[in-house]
Structure 1
Amino acid sequence: MLKYLQAENLKYKGTFLKKLILIAPIVTLLFGASSGQWFQANSFNWWYMMILPGYISIMAVMTNEKEQKKLRYRAVFGLPISLKKVWISKVLVNCIYMTLSCMILSVGIILGGYYFSIIIPFSRVIVAVVLISVTSLWQIPLCMFLAKKLGMIGAVLINVGSLFVLGDLTVLTSMWWICPYSWTSRIMCPVLGYLPNGLKAEMGSSLLNPSVIPIGIILSLILFTLLLIVTANWFGKQEVN
């Protein structure tokens, strides 16, 4: 499996996909900086509410286009290799890229906190970044499947659009756990103390209850595993068109 991962990572050497690892968090930090003293809270809000879902969708599209654009996956389907492992390696490489971007974001948020007056504790920034990474993993195999079936417009519109519509409808309700697009936003409330709209949560609010954190983690890992298995089996049955 390691060889598959190394081969997949090598494909993107010098590509814009690799540059996005740095570009996405920098753009987020610039948006956050425009809000002054609310830099840290708004940087997180911009990241998990808009930029990260779009970033994951674009990564999936670029991963698909790397194989699809010129040879329509003939270079992959024609080799004596496990297509399931190829798919899993693509997903895992994107997971690694996404995690690296989250780490870069955390460094920027921590450093920026020393410049602005309102500071989120270092430990909470680290916990928030780890949880955002974990609870966003499931989007990667989903978006890669959407990119393969529907292309860029389908992947971006469905993933980002679902966050705005489905996530907003459920995140502040008792049924938040039903919608995957509300998981990250909901568990950020007790971790950061801010609501998805960027406002500070009131003391004593039920939204600050930390019991949602393990629920969100477990649901996210289960969904990621299921989507990875289902999409890997689907890709393993693909043939050259």
Structure 2
Amino acid sequence: MRAYIKAELLKNRHSEWARLMVIFPTISILCSVYFSFGNAAYYQMNQYNWWYMCFLPIQVIAGSIFICRREKRLKYRAVQMLPVSAGKIWIAKVVSCIGQIIVSTGMIAAAVAGISLVLKQLFTGGNLFSPITVAAAWGLLVCAICWQIPLWMFCYQKTGMVLTFLLGMGANSILSTVWTTGSRWWMNPFAILPRLMCPVLQILPNGLPAVPESVMFTPQVLEKSVIVPGILLSMGLFALLTAMTARWYQRRMEVGWEK
């Protein structure tokens, strides 16, 4: 399996897929710094909320598309000629995209820790996130969104780039706020990520602090008991989607894409 992952990384290291892990975090950081108006605490809230509600989903969708685009352009001839497991190739693509998310979200975590200290020294401080909180958010963000990778890879294979991007953006923009602050959040996979960020970062999906005066606030959004179920749901969905789509990809390679 390691050889498959290494092959995917080498194949895509100079492609648009590799550039995504730098482009989106950089844009997110610049926007958050600009609109923080020198307030370190406000910058941290902006940075995380913009990242997991906007830029991270876009990167996941785009990364899932670009990592499959080369084979699809060549009508999978290169892959079909190799004596390799198509299912393992698919899983290697998924793992490579997870690595991309880890790097990008790590850049955001480093920016939150470093830039906020600079802003606090130069302008206005406030209550900043602890290193433990930053690290916890980093891990939870990766765990809670990785299930979307095999989903959008599969959608791209079936529908193409434009429709996959529209479906992905629509689902993340609309469904990520449905039931997020209520007791039925677990019924909506797209609500898991913003729901987990509520008790960890104390930020609501709309970007406001999780305090009684804020719109969308309910007392239960600060309950940390949702973290473990949220992780288990995300990991279970990831395992299920990865297994199902890898099996589908293997069968398609065996039968032939023209049929």
Deviation at 1:205, TM superposition (A): 2.4
**Which residue in 1 is equivalent to 2:43?**
39
Residues of 2 paired with 1:232 and 1:123: CA distance? 35
How many percent of aligned residue pairs carry the same amino acid?
34
Q: What is the number of equivalent residue pairs in this alignment? A: 240
Contact 1:166–1:181 under 8 Å retained in 2 = yes
Residues of 2 paired with 1:178 and 1:47: CA distance? 23
**Which residue in 1 is equivalent to 2:112?**
109
- CA deviations over 1:13-36 (Å, ceiling 9, x no partner): 211211111111111111211222
Deviation at 1:121, TM superposition (A): 1.7
Residues of 2 paired with 1:141 and 1:42: CA distance? 28
Residues of 2 paired with 1:16 and 1:163: CA distance? 22
Residue 13 of structure 2 corresponds to residue 13 of structure 1: yes
**Which residue in 2 is equivalent to 1:63?**
67
**Which residue in 1 is equivalent to 2:215?**
none
Contact 2:32–2:47 under 8 Å retained in 1 = yes
Structure 2, unaligned stretches of length 5 or more?
213-217
Residues of 2 paired with 1:185 and 1:6: CA distance? 32
After TM superposition, list the pairs within 5 Å mapping 1:160-175 onto structure 2. 160-175=169-184
Question: TM-score, normalised on structure 1?
Answer: 0.96
Which residue of 196, 219, 222 maps to 1:205? 219
Contact 1:39–1:113 under 8 Å retained in 2 = yes
Residues of 1 paired with 2:110 and 2:6: CA distance? 26
Structure 1, unaligned stretches of length 5 or more?
none
Rg larger in 1 or in 2?
Answer: 2
Letter in 1 for 2:66: M
Question: TM-score, normalised on structure 2?
Answer: 0.89
- CA deviations over 1:180-230 (Å, ceiling 9, x no partner): 100010010000011111111126922100001101100000000000000
Contact 2:144–2:231 under 8 Å retained in 1 = yes
Q: Indicate the SS of the match to 1:170.
A: coil
Q: Indicate the SS of the match to 1:211.
A: helix
Deviation at 1:59, TM superposition (A): 0.6
Which residue of 46, 49, 52 maps to 1:48? 52
Contact 1:113–1:120 under 8 Å retained in 2 = no
- CA deviations over 1:150-206 (Å, ceiling 9, x no partner): 122222221221122222121111110100100010010000011111111126922
Contact 1:138–1:223 under 8 Å retained in 2 = yes
Contact 1:134–1:217 under 8 Å retained in 2 = yes
